[in-house]
Amino acid sequence: MRILAIWDNDAEGDLVSMYLGIGDNDVTSAFSEDEVTRRIDEGGHFDIILMPIDLPEPEAGYEVFRRIRERFPGIPIVGACQPADVFRIVRFMANGMSAYVMRDAGGDYMFMLQAILDSTVDAVRAAREEQISAKLREEVESVRKLQESVIPKNLEAPHGYKIVGRYEPSQIRVLGGLPVTMAGGDYYDVFALPDGKMALIVGDASGHGMKAAMSIMTMHTLMRMIRTQKYNDTSHFVEVINQQLYEQSIVNEEGGFITLLYAILDFEKQELQWTSAGHPPPLLQNFETGEVALLGDEDAGGLPLAVIEEAEYETYTSKIPNNIRLLLFTDGLEEAFPAAMTDRHDQFGVEGIKQTMRESRNLTLEETLQKLFDDSHAYTQGSGRHDDTSVVLLERFE
């Protein structure tokens, strides 16, 4: 610990410096008015400063204290005072002094100085870390709210269709001793296209926290900028988005990427055209049989976005008959698993999703959406999903 020990007489000051110099401490002393002035003017790097409040009398001591505070902002100061002057310490404490010690006539207080300085440094450091944590919590919350602001709350579907969507952040983490809902990298969007069709989107940026959230915000902005332009198929659109994202360092630095499922629903043809960039394909449930199946296979789709600039993607076309439910989801739903301390290491998986959809055959669309989240959460045995989760659920009826 680096200590600046200012004292008001040489003999006692030498003893103070000796006691504080034991161990790994680095003590710098100043025992005269000239030395004090020089140390203050020179500045330096100290962890804590010790000084008597009367140099040589209280008003002069307060002036030295004020100058130290200006010259060494943020460094804790411990004051020493005579028992008769303890009432004067209030002024110092009210203006930033961190702690004080009573100077008894026998000098026994010197044996307490090391412990007092140690505890003061620890207390100040803890308070500073809490301030930083509070600021970080505010910043995380701001980014999280910004991310959630781009996710649509009320989804509108044309006659004959119903649609619901939901985003849920990952397991609450602890930061600075307090719970924080972290910003995440999940995303969904649903909007009408100029030709009367409907675009359905789910995406997932790699990682967690602010970088993932900002990656998704970047993609959302790009997609909103070019969504009204004419593209022949979904793969062409995804290829353009990939080229744009590849140039964004916020997305691909440190190996970052985004998975995306981009789909266009053609109401007249009753077809879904879709392209996957490393994202799970949609699931289709037939109400007549209750069965649920992937559209395409699990390997359908190309590389995630922002990995290779000239990556190519495929367009898939699937019929969307009457009396079906269509599910688009991010892997947070599929990859829910119990905490590590259990003896289970399997995931909720696509089979778990299919089972929930089969069990929800007679439930409303909103109830089915809730059951998907409830069942995947229950599968974790109380530990919670460890990844963000987004779901878009569409129903077509006669």
Block means of pLDDT (10 residues each) for the chain, 398 residues, are 90 89 88 88 90 85 92 92 89 92 87 91 87 74 72 85 89 52 78 87 85 84 73 86 90 89 93 94 92 85 92 94 95 82 71 95 94 91 77 90
What does DSSP assign to residue 25? Answer: -
Q: Angle formed by the axes of helices 10-20 and 110-149, to 10°?
A: 60
CB 266 within 8 A of CB 318: no
Pair (260, 328) in one structural domain: yes
Domain range for residue 76?
2-129
Task: Give me the pLDDT at residue 344, please.
Answer: 53
Task: Give me the pLDDT at residue 224, please.
Answer: 78
Pair (115, 160) in one structural domain: no
What contacts 24+ positions apart, CB below 8 Å, involve 370-374?
372/327, 372/329, 372/333, 373/166, 373/168, 373/333
Pair (157, 125) in one structural domain: no
Let me know if residue 140 belongs to a domain: no
Task: Give me the pLDDT at residue 304, please.
Answer: 95
Let me know if residue 145 belongs to a domain: no
Identify the CATH number of the domain in which residue 176 sits: 3.60.40.10
pTM confidence score: 0.67
> Parallel, antiparallel, or unpaired: how do β-strands 258-266 and 198-205 relate?
antiparallel
Identify the CATH number of the domain in which residue 11 sits: 3.40.50.2300
| Total number of domains in the chain | 2
CB neighbour list of residue 259: distance below 8 Å, 6 or more residues apart: 203, 204, 276, 277, 278, 279, 304, 305, 330, 331
Task: Give me the pLDDT at residue 252, please.
Answer: 84
d(CA 398, CA 396): 7
CB atoms within 10 A of CB 25: 18
CB 4 within 8 A of CB 30: yes
